[in-house]
């Protein structure tokens, strides 16, 4: 995943308390599968939330 995509992903998660909004899943991150989204959200919470 390109660095600019990772930065965008983190910004979306920061704005939405560690989860992707449905519009983000359908537009910006539509190439990600549901299991990939779940893994990213889980890892984000492990790293950035307490």
Provide the pLDDT for residue 11: 93
- pLDDT tens digits in sequence order for the chain, 50 residues long: 777 888 999 999 999 999 999 999 999 999 999 999 999 999 999 998 86
Provide the pLDDT for residue 10: 92
pTM value > 0.95: no
Q: What is the residue-wise DSSP string for the chain?
A: --HHHHHHHHHHHHHTTTS--HHHHHTTTTTS-HHHHHHHHHHHHHHH--
Provide the pLDDT for residue 1: 74
**What Rg do the C-alpha atoms of the chain give, in angstroms?**
10
């Amino acid at each position: 995943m390109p660095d600019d995509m990772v930065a965008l992903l983190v910004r979306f998660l920061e704005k939405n308390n560690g989860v992707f909004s449905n519009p983000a899943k359908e537009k910006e991150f539509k190439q990600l599968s549901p299991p990939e989204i779940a893994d990213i959200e889980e890892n984000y919470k492990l790293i950035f939330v307490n």
